[in-house]
Amino acid sequence: MSGMSPLDLAAVKGLLFADQNLEDLTVVRLVLAQVVAKRAGDQFLNARSLLMQGREQEAISGLKNVCASDNAETRYKLWAWSNLRRFGVSPDDRERLTVRGVVLEVEVTGGLDTLAVYEDGSVRYLNFSGKFAVWDAIDAKITALCNR
């Protein structure tokens, strides 16, 4: 667990919902800090660069690649879909109706605790105090709990 300032905690909490605008470089940097050396990070950076150059169709193609990747984390697939929807691209009915993650906020004395679980078994816990925990290890028991 690590402590964060309230501002940082709010920024990280926002990432759990995977609905940020790809052009927001601050958000991109926060996300990429979590995906160092992962291919999805390169794809997001490339898509952002293409969007900034006005090459929307190529950016869309790159984001679709993230969605189709077997290696991309669930949050990054959700983030890619969130941005694709901005450009009028929608998932097919099966994808659209599949729950890929749940974010739960619980009021506690002093603030809100947030727990996010994703289809791939990754878990994020943010304590209102600024402490947080990240679980990315592949564990069949944790993944089964997340999927329930």
- In 3D space, the residue among 116, 100, 102, 64 whose CA is nearest the CA of residue 85 turns out to be 64
DSSP for residue 52? H
Cα 69 from Cα 133, distance rounded (Å): 26
DSSP string covering 99-143, please? --EEEEEEEETTEEEEEEEETTS-EEEE-TTS-EEEE-S--HHHH
Q: What is the pLDDT of residues 123-142, one digit of tens each?
A: 888 888 888 888 877 777 77
- SS3 call for 2: strand
Structural domain boundaries of the chain?
Answer: 6-96, 101-147
Q: What is the pLDDT of residues 32-89, one digit of tens each?
A: 555 544 556 677 778 888 988 999 999 999 999 888 888 888 888 888 899 999 899 9
